[in-house]
Amino acid sequence: MKPDLSVLILTHNETLHLRRCIQSVQPFAKAVFIVDSYSSDDTLEIARSLGAEVFQNPWVNYAEQFNWGLENCPITTQWVMRMDADEYATPELQKEILIKLPAMLPEETAVYVKRRVHFMGKWIKRGGYYPTWLLRIWHHEKGFCEKRWMDEHIKVTTDTPVFFEHDLVDDNLNDLTWWTTKHNHYATRELVDLLNIRYNFLEYDEVNPALFGSQEQRKRWLKIKYANLPLFTRPFIYFLYRYFIKLGFLDGTKGLIWHFLQGFWYRFLVDAKVYDIKRRAKFSGKPLVQEIENYLGKPLH
């Protein structure tokens, strides 16, 4: 018997991945809900053909879209699971959810699973990238997505966590041009969070940063420390830490591409955009927030 669980997936033009994702959760999910931001490919047809319920809503950012789904999809199950369209549950995780979720104690309201990242078909095991523990299953109506522009985590109002043994896999099949374009957009969102740490122009209801807390609390604490490092030096420090101290070089050629692009190029691009925004604000005399909104092409609030 399937546990009392619904899966919520956000989509936009996910023909390449969605079938794999939905089929991987069907063994344990009573319902699958798709919140689509007006795809122009076969995403909706694939979702409906596999029995998923489809809803559409204009995109603002990930947090806004996910919370809209939590509030507007007719979720009636005790549990809800967050999945990205380019992820899938391994057969081992499928079995673990089927066995363990129905046996959870009443106070156990949040389940962490390990994510493994595949890049160019290779599992990235080093550089601090595995295991990454993510809160992905929680009691419905006790959790929500942080309202951040980037690096969003699920926050539960009551949290007695359980850690499952097996993995979900993040395996995006698009080419490198797509990947770099996506991370260019990510960099624009990331600068909002980094500048907000310094200037506090947005109030977030977020996971509390803590060095000795959960993995997302520790990552949030480290991000605050990272944001206060000097511009343009921090990408070098971060890459050297990942590639040499955390043994990223053992991931081979594909690992070199991944760690360099994700651990250095992307973060250097964020710093370049921060520098550009500050330069523009100084030259124009406009408030920093207004220049950020010009970058985003939309209001921050």
DSSP class per residue in 205-268: --PPP-TTS-HHHHHHHHHHHHHTSPTTTHHHHHHHIIIIIT-GGGGHHHHHHHHHIIIIIHHH
Domain co-membership, 181 together with 152? no
Given 131, 152, 171, the domain boundary residue is 171
Report whether pLDDT(209) > 70: yes
CATH code, domain with 60: 3.90.550.10
Q: Within a domain: residue 301?
A: no
Helix (H) or strand (E) run with residue 224 in it: helix 215-227
Domain co-membership, 141 together with 201? no
Domain co-membership, 153 together with 263? no
Domain co-membership, 121 together with 38? yes
Query: Which structural domain, as residue segments, surrounds residue 245?
Result: 176-296
Q: Encode pLDDT of 263-290 as tens digits.
A: 999 999 999 999 999 999 888 888 888 8
Summary mean pLDDT of the chain? 93
220 confidence band (pLDDT: 50, 70, 90): confident
Domain co-membership, 93 together with 230? no
Domain co-membership, 38 together with 165? yes
> Model pTM greater than 0.75?
yes
Q: Encode pLDDT of 16-54 as tens digits.
A: 999 999 999 999 999 999 999 999 999 999 999 999 999
Q: Within a domain: residue 227?
A: yes
Q: Within a domain: residue 240?
A: yes
Domain co-membership, 166 together with 182? no
Q: Within a domain: residue 272?
A: yes
Distance CA 6, CA 158 (A): 19
